[in-house]
Amino acid sequence: MTGRLHELVERVISTVEPELTAGLGEEQARWAVETYRRVVLPSRLDVTEDRDDATAQRWADREAQSIAERYRSVDVDRRWSMIVVDHYASKLGPLEAAAFALARRAAAGGDGVRDAALDVQQRLHALREEIEASAPAVMDELASEISEALMDCAFVLDGPDFCSIRMGRWLEGDA
């Protein structure tokens, strides 16, 4: 994490921590803050890397406001499940994007995507296993995204006999 991204993450943490951790036990609160610090916010604020400082700070402030509002109105049980989903969704996001990018490259005749697709596929399976072991309820919310990403990998590895919905739309020119 770059110095600027770290500063933005800390800026958001200082704003959202009260709403994020309200009603949670000490251990859950500590985990929530750390997962937002190390996993969720870096993925959400990564887009600020190409922005000037003022724009990046405005982006971070909007993200902080959005997170605070999202958590402010939910009870503690729902809050905890939302935090866990955010954790795993943030880990899934880059894999999902990579799988779709590899499928598009393969469809365009790109070479050298097979090994990368195999790596992404293995990481997706490992993430799915981690979710199933640690937070099985999260699978209900992320199963379709994981499935789409795995189908994108299969498109690269096994050929165009079938593809994800988003890849099908891309191939048809709708995406």
Same domain, yes or no: 94 and 169: yes
**Statement to judge: residues 57 and 83 lie in one domain:** no
Residue tagged 């596929």 (tokens)? 121
Segment 5-17 shows an average pLDDT of 94
* Ranges assigned E (strand) in 20-111: none
Residue 25 has pLDDT above 90, yes or no: yes
Q: Are residues 62 and 107 in the same domain?
A: no
Same domain, 85 and 46: no
Residue 93 clears pLDDT 70, i.e. is over it: yes
Under 8 Å between Cβ of 11 and 64: yes
**3-class DSSP assignment, residue 1:** coil
Final residue of a structural domain among 30, 54, 73: 73
pLDDT of res. 170: 78
d(CA 172, CA 5): 37
The residues, any chain, with a CB within 8 Å of residue 33's CB and separated by 6 or more, are 13, 17, 20, 21
pLDDT in tens, 104-160: 999 888 788 999 999 999 999 999 999 999 999 999 899 999 999 999 999 999 877
87 and 173 housed in the same domain: yes
Token duo for residue 160: 């165009």
The whole-model pTM stands at 0.86
Report the C-alpha gap between 39 and 33 in whole angstroms.
10
CB atoms within 10 A of CB 17: 16
Mean of per-residue pLDDT scores for the chain:
90
Q: Are 141 and 84 in contact (CB under 8 A)?
A: no
Give the count of domains, the chain: 2
Mean pLDDT of 79-89: 95
Is residue 24 a contact partner of residue 76, using CB atoms and an 8 Å limit? Answer: yes
Co-location of 162 and 104 in the same domain: yes
